Amino acid sequence: MTILQVDHVSFSYGADTVFEDVSFTMALGERLALVAPNGQGKSTLLKLIVGELTPDEGRVLVPKGTRVGYLHQSHEPDPSGTVLDALLATFVEAREARHRLTAAEEAAASGTDEALERLAAAQDRFARTGADAIEREVSAIAHQVRFSDQDLHRAVSSLSGGERGRLQLAVVLAAKPDLLLLDEPTNHLDLETVYWLEGFLRAYRGAVIVVSHDRAFLDATCPRTAELGMFSFRDYALKYSAYVIARDEDLERERKAVMEQRDFIAKTEEYIRRNLAGQNTKIAQGRRKMLEKLERLDNPDDIWASARKLGMRFAQARRTGDIVFEAKGLRAERGGRVLFDGVDVLVKRLDRVAIVGPNGAGKSTLLKLLAAQGWPEDKGEVRQGTNLDVGYFDQHLESLDPEKSCVEIIRGVRPDMVVDAVRQYLARFRFYGDDPFRAVKSLSGGERTRLALAKLLLVPRNVLLLDEPTNHLDIPACEILEEALAHFEGTVLLVSHDRYFLERVATRLVHLDNGKVTLYSGSWSDYVSHREKLEAQARELEAARAPKTVKGAAEAPKAAPKGRESYEDAKRKAREAEKRARRVAELEKLIADGEQKLESLRTQLRDAPGSDWEKIAELAEKEQEMVRRVDGYTEEWLRLSEESSS
């Protein structure tokens, strides 16, 4: 069933064309990754689909009654009410029933008959509207994006920016729209939550369009990729990593076709020039008419080419000592909660160390302690090595004064640079024309990140501390940063949730969780493999410790492994549950058939002549064999049914 049709849509902001002639359709169950560099119009296209903008040409068709959910990149939920109120925003009747019940419960404290009657009525309405089931469902989604039961009763206005982003995602998912539009859904999510979201979207029954720069997330969720260009729209039934290869092949083939056509035109024009006045005049005239009717091919629209023009190079710096950081007994407490205690970290020259873990575990805090930017009450000792020229990238970009222009930001570090030199330098970071004179507060997230990186690269560095450096960067910029860091002749410590980035840059990992610090040597994929092996061993150990069951009795439910289960675990369990359900249905048929055969055998036994002992013995043996089979089927059915309900 088609749930969305975008039909020859074009859009411009004034005289500036954003895109032209975009057409595609979406059916229920399809998941599409919409990709393009920053500023190419991805968010604009989503706004056209939901009706926030009107196309200059073409139309967007969504069937009447279709529920559309849209996660804006701005992440601003309604600040009024509680977290639970926000989650119930689309469930008006359930939300009203909850408010009535809460008010009735408070009034019932008086103990009057009238108040108690009002409470009973409110409870009845709460049950009739199914509000309890709805609350359980939306609360389960909220828990997955790291909101506790206590958080559900917090005022939305009290939430941090990251918490509001996670809440807005939960609100959109809880509404279960038929068409789900997600603009950068992994912002503010830690890796465990990203894994959960990947599994959620793979199982989603509606249509999904995802805009994201997280390449691993796109690969995991979307089997279809569409590239939005100003004059082209390429649609591939491939995940992102396969699309990249197919697209390059298409571009090469299209460029070759253009060159071949130009060569053909040049040869034909030469033939016409030589023969127009000679014996072959008619042939030449015919070829000239053919050229006039020929549809000329243009060079293919390569939207990533200009985005890759990012001159990110690290200047040569002096050599550090072999030991860069030696930290002992680090302890940090924030908001009355101990993030970590007794942490020892040794960082050597040329190390590439990634700090990973859930949100709130203290990753950025640990990085700041190493950069000597911790709080006075933090404990422990950090000894820095010799000849360190440290560059620190703050994910909140607090070093950028929002009132200053890009030129002023750069000259604040290098006052010796004249304005023209600053403009040339900023052009390496895709700031063209009058962009260098814009105030920081007018820049997009991606532009601010590029400006912060430009500021970081102004002076030679031999140690880089990077806190979420790929936030807001588009895919080409991420790839260029990865390449630059791969050739950086210094030491890198970073915090990131970008798995592609971690895989290409990190050679060691520090995992923080619940105050526990674990060190791993190797790449991100090595770390993931190691974690999966540990989880498998934990499951085996738990299974070995589980009490054995007597044959025919229900097996005790297995204890869940400690920690959050990976998506692969959830997928395996889903497959096992599906297999178990198929077997239960099969057993029910076998039991029914067996009982029919038993009834037939017993009828034959009753009707058999008493003198035919051989026949009676044969029938009795068959009847006993069938009894054993039916008992076995029934025993297996009972066991599997109890496992399914546990």
Q: Which long-range contacts (CB under 8 A, 24 or more apart) does 339-344 make?
A: 339/365, 339/366, 339/512, 339/515, 340/365, 340/366, 340/512, 340/515, 340/516, 340/517, 341/379, 341/515, 343/380, 343/517
Whether the predicted pLDDT of 562 surpasses 60: no
- At 628 the pLDDT is 73
Whether the predicted pLDDT of 14 surpasses 90: no
323-515 CATH choice from 3.30.70.20, 3.40.50.300, 3.50.50.60, 3.90.550.10: 3.40.50.300
Q: Is there a contact between 596 and 553 (Cβ–Cβ < 8 Å)?
A: no
Quote the mean pLDDT of the chain. Answer: 87
Q: Return the top range by mean pLDDT from 6-20, 519-533, 542-556, 594-608.
A: 6-20
pLDDT tens-digit profile of 381-440?
999 999 999 999 998 888 899 999 999 999 999 999 999 999 999 999 999 999 999 999
Spell out a b/e string for 206-218, using b for 16 or more CB atoms within 10 Å of the CB, else e: bbbbbbbbbbbbb
- At 610 the pLDDT is 57
Q: How far apart are CA 543 and CA 537, in angstroms?
A: 10
Q: How far apart are CA 476 and CA 73, in angstroms?
A: 20
What confidence tier does 563 reach under pLDDT thresholds 50, 70, 90? very low
- At 540 the pLDDT is 82
CATH number at 2-101+127-242: 3.40.50.300
Q: How far apart are CA 528 and CA 210, in angstroms?
A: 25
Residue 13 phi/psi, 5-degree rounding, is -105, 100
Q: Can you say whether residue 188 is alpha, beta or left, with left for phi > 0 and alpha for psi between -120 and 50 degrees? A: left
Give the predicted TM-score (pTM) of the model: 0.76
Spell out a b/e string for 364-379, using b for 16 or more CB atoms within 10 Å of the CB, else e: bbbbbbbbeebeeebe
Determine which of 135-149, 318-332, 480-494, 542-556 has the lowest per-residue pLDDT on average.
542-556
What confidence tier does 553 reach under pLDDT thresholds 50, 70, 90? very low
- At 560 the pLDDT is 44
Kindly list the strands in the beta sheet with 323-334, ordered across the sheet, starting from the edge strand earlier in the chain.
337-348, 323-334, 379-384
pLDDT tens-digit profile of 63-76?
999 999 999 876 66
Encoded tokens for 187:
């912002």
Q: Is there a contact between 419 and 278 (Cβ–Cβ < 8 Å)?
A: no
- At 146 the pLDDT is 87
Whether the predicted pLDDT of 39 surpasses 90: no
Q: Report the share of the chain in percent with pLDDT over 70.
A: 91
Q: Report the share of the chain in percent with pLDDT over 90.
A: 51
Whether the predicted pLDDT of 548 surpasses 90: no
Encoded tokens for 518:
């674990």
